[in-house]
Amino acid sequence: MSLKTTTESRIDAAERLNPQLNSFLSIERESAVKRAGELEKDERDLPMKGVAIAIKDNICTKGMRTSCGSQILSNYTAQYDATAISRLYNAGAIVIGKTNMDEFAMGSSNESSAFGAAKNPWDVTRVPGGSSGGSAVAVASGVCRVALGSETGGSVRQPAALCGIVGFKPTYGRISRYGLVAFASSLDNIGIFGAAAKDVAECLGVIAGRDEKDATSADVPVPDYTKFLEKDISGKTIGIPRSLLGEGLDDEVRESILHSIENFKSLGANIVDVELPHAKYGIAVYYIIATAEASSNLARYDGVRYGFRAEGAHNLREMYFATREEGFGAEVKRRIMLGTYVLSSGYYDAYYSKAQRVRAMVKQDYVTAFEICDAILTPTSPSVAFKLGAKSDDPLAMYLNDIYTVSANLAGVPALSVPSGLSSEGLPIGLQLVGNFWSEPTLLNLAHKYETAHPLNARPVLFRL
């Protein structure tokens, strides 16, 4: 089958499923088919030649709308490609569309999108997770094997767990953030969804590496991650923070995680107990630091420079107020107000400064734990996918969905989610593996060996045929 035919088939599937799943905000048929035709004539052996890929709508793609799931950017067309996108193009990948997301990546369910929630392909009455829900759905439904998302507090790993696929967050600085629309700059990462760990490894090898356009990107050599996948994991040591398997964790998720620990033992891994004593403060610390940085980053959306501008204002102040009132949704407004509060005079030391000190303690917990283990295993999410609307009126309950993921972002260490089984309702459960700095090869090796030995053979109700 030709690249052009294959690409058209995937776009056909995206268009056929989108009315039910709402995973794509735009499907780029014309440009994708044209690129497939050009690649057919290109005789070079490119690492991702012809691979269809979906892109979260907060990653800039030149000539395509980049809305961040927000009304305030609903008419914004990116003027340049993010570094990750440029590298994918150079490797022969084909972008087939931009995916739905929580507005400005602020959410855990995809329900804060200004364009309606994406739906979980396993059960369309349930959330796919967030904020990168659309990308997770695109992979889980079989439209594509790889998609890019973004991670600030678990926004790739959590939807990957709820949709039954692999979701990966790199070490901070491993992938350039140039062209990723900022939410919380010290926490943001571009992440990767894959149908399997091999898909993630191939994509990571293409987009990782130093970028002069991003001062926070690290000048650390990029290995061929695929070469590590088949390595024997006998002798690898996996740490288990038992204190995180107690209150607040769904019983079926706990049972699945305990079963996965035994599965790793059967693969030859050593299991040790580790302590992450400051993990319990992760949610509080995250929602102080992330909102503070968001309040600063989102100040640029004022109706003057680009994006939406409210009509009918009589002066500049009114225009600012009306633009942000109409352009931002409730969750974004909530986080801007929280962030402005914790940075305000008299509260900076009490909240933001203290949160940064605790963040350092969270990081040190990981440094200490990795002295005796190669990776740490936890649940990815405290429950399986919940019903649409179930937590919309309870922000705290929604925030607690990220309880197992935020600390890896605070510490800057790599982490991934891989399927560990199904609940009694037939919904996916994910296990999380967290690694030391630059240990991406080890995490992908562990994930590949696990999914090979214990594959999730079931498919969602809505799956591309």
Q: Is 354 a catalytic residue?
A: no
> Catalytic site residue 23?
no
Token pair 């605070």 in the structure block, residue: 410
The three-state secondary structure class of 413 is coil
Q: How far apart are CA 43 and CA 158, in angstroms?
A: 39
To the query of whether residue 4 is one of the catalytic residues in this protein, the response is no
Residue 238 is inside which H or E element, if any? strand 237-240
CA dihedral (205, 206, 209, 214) in degrees, to 10, reads: -140
Annotated active-site residue in 4, 23, 56, 119: 56
Direct distance between the N- and C-terminal alpha carbons of the chain, in angstroms, rounded to an integer? 16
Tell me whether the omega of the peptide bond preceding residue 392 falls within 30 degrees of 0, making it cis. no
DSSP H helices, 42-80, are none
Of 23, 108, 109, 155, which residue is the catalytic one? 155
Amino acid code (one letter) for 324: R
CA-CA distances (angstroms) from residue 299 to 185, 291, 328? 14, 12, 12
DSSP state of 149: E
Selecting among 131, 135, 295, 420, the annotated active-site residue is 131
Q: Quote the CA–CA distance of 188 and 184 in Å, as a whole number.
A: 6
- Residue length, the chain? 465
Give me the active site residues, please: 56, 131, 155
